Structure 1
């Protein structure tokens, strides 16, 4: 059942976004992100410190990786906006690596204010699961 608020082509459970690649992320990107975000944790910026912590290279900031979900969703459906995004970090992505974003609709509601719940995944280019996330998307044109 579709409400008057939902677009005629409202997504349904099981619909998937096309995979999108981001990166590889370089040291200069991490430096710029640290300056813009205020997250200047030396673990992300100092290769020797990262190695001392048992990593092969500095890890990419988690929020920088989380920011990759929104453009992937926007390419899939430019008529939707992210209302909520939460993620669990499972494996670090290191400098020189990138991620592939994928996802699918797990719940689609067209009642009241149309809303989607998306399960999102970020995998390293080697296939390792880095982030498991969930997003709530709403129509950009629906009233608040």
Structure 2
């Protein structure tokens, strides 16, 4: 099972360089194996709202979660000590540490274009790695 980082979705939603790769990942990977953190969902909302892309946000929520079957995973307040510990251990900022902690809690493979995860014990994979 995979945890898709925020940047994976932004790549597709903002039609960036690897949008086709992300689209293919979402089409070819069973949705019940794909997870997204509550933090990522909120971050995507913040970014799209700032760009006045409210409709795109609602469409993404529908396509990915309501009809798409992707699962949202969360941390509890009792997990915040783990967020802090991974931040200190690996030099991660809050959002990366949150994602890393979720990947540990649910034993998920972290899928990201963010190289900061390369210095963690769990590492990361990219959509291209999964598709090849």
Q: Same fold (TM over 0.5)?
A: no
Structure with bigger strand share is: 1
The answer to which structure has the higher helix fraction is 2
TM-score (normalizing by structure 2): 0.27
Structure ID, larger Rg: 1
| TM-score (norm. length: structure 1) | 0.25
